[in-house]
A and B are shown apart, each in its own frame.
Chain A
């Protein structure tokens, strides 16, 4: 046998081995994947901690000096930990970038994403995600210099507007002006930090981005009071908790945890006064706080889970004001994120 042919046979033996190995590995993969479905909540309880994927944006999710996560979405993560474990600390926040957070949820790296994911139809159907209740209604906004004397987007005829290149924002603003029959001059800006410089130097009359981004940018301007965030929203960006398909009970826990904070605000129950409500004669309050235990026992949750949530993190309004509203440096208005009774979009289903 020549050297050449011996080499050849060695290669084919190796190939055979590699192929067999790969098939074996595939068989091992397929088995556990099938049984994993529908057991997210079991896994959480067994693990003793909820794994939450978050982003990094001031006010929404940011660590403080001691490395403790603080922010609007963070508080909802703690509320979830209260519902499941009655302990706001039994939650593990991991920051992930916008590009990888959805695949990471699919891969099982997180139990839930509280990273400001916009709920869209393709994410529901194609990516296989369930969305909990919207916890922040965001949308593309316009931040305008006050000295041009404009109070609504319809007055912005002929304005020069800074838009981020290559985003849906660029298309939305064009649609908005075409719809109103007005004209504008777009100035495309590449770097998000350049927006502020363009606005302050007067190169543009207005800039457009998601309202939450604009709200943060406004606080970083030299004279924030010289600018106004117009009330119009050019796109819908409902930011909601996202989980994988397959565990209905986990979805319901997410839903009703968010709704508990909303219902509490509607009932006027706050972190400070929640104990006073324990003696309330109102049957709705009794069902909500679990002084009447029948409802909680029937649904298989701690009857006092809503009481525990409010005690630990407060109601929706408190969470909002503390992190991004009037008690924060951002001073955002509630806007759409008000109760339905105040003309907003927050509405919790019936507690019975």
Chain B
């Protein structure tokens, strides 16, 4: 056996020992392991039979009704609707491009090496370009925003609102710590009111009350109104996270900076914020994942995000009642995004913890 092969086997055996210890090391571990295996044995075979063996892969709703398994033919016929909702099919390249642009921007930003001013500029340009592309403002035909939907809307709302919420949140967090009483009170009231309100209520305000409050409020479309209020809503949560970062900076640093003759804004910009924000990045990533999932609440005001589009796909009389398949597809997409997000968050946390 080659040296390399021996090494591999030894590694495997060491792993084996670790596994045995983990699974059956103690009395409690054994019980948990056996219970899990029994549970999986009860769930997995019927699921595999439903999802794979008995499934109908091509055909019509009638073929699916005749079978007993999952109806993947339904997903085949409806995938475009689930992903892009009411966007006109001949123009589907637009939501595809927007999804790629937004996804690409996320991937690019993921690496700390990309954290520079140029990336910040991209975060301004890409969402604007996405919006213009979806609307067809520059190159026609125009598509009204009530026809947008599916995955691009989920990404666009989550990314635009979260990225706009961060600068607002930093100002709010600073205001909350400010020595100016009026400013501090306003910040506290705003943050606490927003955090004390459910997001659904905020969306109802955007849909129903905002148009009556602002003259010409009807002119800003529903999606735009919702995004403005979601941004403000999220900024309150982000502000509290940023405040935690600010409070973690020792007072000695403020004093030292002041002793060097720096003014308030320069202290914040060059001394406090760079450290405070770095501290709270993992917490922000967690918050972002939660917010991404929260975008499914947009369904309550009739915006066709990914989840709503999936649900609606199954009420077409031609494909009536395949809710399980529709929800499974939507759940897989959300799950994939969130698993990537949470693994990334762990990786980032470790990387940032390394001494610099």
B196 within 8 A of A: no
Is B86 interfacial (CB-CB < 8 Å)? yes
The distance in angstroms between the C-alpha atoms of A67 and B82, with both chains bound, is 10
Contact for B208 among A14, A33, A104, CB less than 8 A: A104
Cα(A96)–Cα(B321), bound, Å: 20
**Contact residues in A for B211 (Cβ distance below 8 Å):** 107-109
* A100 with B315: CB separation less than 8 A: no
B78 at interface, CB cutoff 8 A: yes
B residues 152-184 near A (Cβ < 8 Å) are 179-183
Cross-chain contact B300 with A97 (CB below 8 angstroms)? yes
A residues 86-129 touching B (CB-CB < 8 Å): 92, 94-97, 100, 103-104, 106-109
**A-B pairs with beta carbons under 8 Å apart, 9 shown:** A29-B213, A62-B312, A63-B313, A65-B77, A65-B81, A100-B207, A100-B208, A109-B208, A109-B222
A66→B319 CA distance, assembly (Å) = 13
Chain B: minimal CB distance from A228 (Å): 20
Q: Which residues of A contact B208 (CB under 8 A)?
A: 100, 103-104, 106-107, 109
Let me know if B315 and A62 touch, CB within 8 A: yes
Chain A min CB distance to B33 (Å): 34
On chain B, the number of residues with a Cβ less than 8 Å from chain A's Cβ atoms is: 46
Name the contact of B215 in the complex, choosing from A31, A106, A216 (C-beta under 8 A). A31
Pick the contact of A94: B81, B87, B183, B302 (CB < 8 A).
Answer: B302
Alpha-carbon distance A29/B304, docked complex (angstroms): 30
Q: Is the CB of A28 within 8 A of B215?
A: yes
The answer to the question of A303 belonging to the interface, with a C-beta cut-off of 8 Å to chain B, is: no
Q: List the interface of chain B (C-beta within 8 A of A).
A: 77-78, 80-81, 84-89, 144, 146-147, 179-183, 185-186, 204, 207-209, 211-216, 218, 222, 299-302, 304, 311-313, 315-318, 320-321
Select one of A8, A14, A67, A330 contacting B81, CB under 8 A: A67
Name the residue of chain B whose CB is nearest to the CB of A26. B213
In the complex where A66-B89, A67-B88, A67-B89 touch, is A329 in contact with B320 (Cβ < 8 A)?
yes
Per-residue B-contact encoding for A245-282, CB less than 8 Å = 1, 0 else: 00000000000000000000000000000000000000
On chain B, the residues within 8 Å of A20 by CB distance are none
A31 to B204, CA, bound (A): 23
Output the nearest chain A residue to B88 by Cβ-Cβ distance: A67
Separation of A227 and B250 alpha carbons in the complex (Å): 74
Query: In the complex, what residues of A have CB within 8 A of residue B147's CB?
Result: 67
B78: nearest residue on chain A (CB-CB)?
A65
Q: A56-B312, A59-B317, A62-B315 are in contact. Are A11 and B212 (CB under 8 A)?
A: no
Taking the closest CB of chain B, its distance from the CB of A20, in whole angstroms, is: 14
Chain A residue numbers with a CB within 8 Å of B317 are 58-59, 62, 70, 323, 328-330
CB neighbours (8 Å) of B299 from chain A are: 97
- Cross-chain contact A11 with B185 (CB below 8 angstroms): yes
CB closest chain-A residue, reference B318: A64
Per the bound structure, the CA–CA distance linking A45 and B208 in Å amounts to 23
Residues on A with beta carbons closer than 8 Å to the beta carbon of B302: 94-97, 100
Q: What is the interface residue range for chain A against chain B? A: 35 or more
Once bound together, how far apart are the Cα atoms of A300 and B182, in whole Å?
A: 60
Contact check, A63 vs B81: say whether CB atoms are below 8 A apart.
yes
- Interface pair B180/A10, CB less than 8 Å apart: yes
A259 CB, nearest partner CB in chain B, Å:
27
Cα distance, A18 to B167, chains bound together (Å): 23
A58 touches B215 (CB 8 A): no
Contact, CB under 8 Å: B88 / A32: no
Q: Give Cα A328 to B318, complex, Å.
A: 9
Among B84, B180, B218, B313, find the residue whose CB has the most chain A CB atoms closer than 10 A.
Answer: B218
Residues of chain A with a CB closer than 8 A to B222's CB: 109
Per-residue 0/1 for A25-57: is the Cβ within 8 Å of any B Cβ (1 yes, 0 no)?
100110111000000000000000000000011
- Which residue in A11, A18, A25, A220 is a CB contact (below 8 Å) of B181? A11
Cα-based distance from A18 to B85 in the complex (angstroms): 42
CA distance A92 to B81 in the complex (A): 18
For the complex formed, measure the closest distance between the CB of A69 and the CB atoms of chain B, giving whole angstroms.
8
**A7-B181, A33-B212, A58-B315 known; A14 vs B78 contact (CB < 8 Å):** no
A13 at the interface (CB under 8 A from B): yes
Which residues does chain A contribute within 8 Å of B180, judged by CB atoms? Answer: 7, 10
Q: A57-B315, A62-B317, A96-B302 are in contact. Are A67 and B86 (CB under 8 A)?
A: yes
Q: In the complex, are the beta carbons of B85 and A67 less than 8 A apart?
A: yes
Minimum distance in angstroms from A29 CB to a CB of chain B = 6
User: Residue on B with the closest CB to A103?
Assistant: B208
A14 to B146, CA, bound (A): 39
Known: A67-B81, A94-B146. 16 other contacts (CB 8 A): A14-B182, A18-B186, A29-B214, A56-B315, A63-B85, A63-B316, A66-B81, A67-B80, A92-B146, A94-B302, A96-B302, A100-B208, A109-B211, A323-B317, A328-B317, A330-B317
A219 in contact (CB, < 8 A): yes
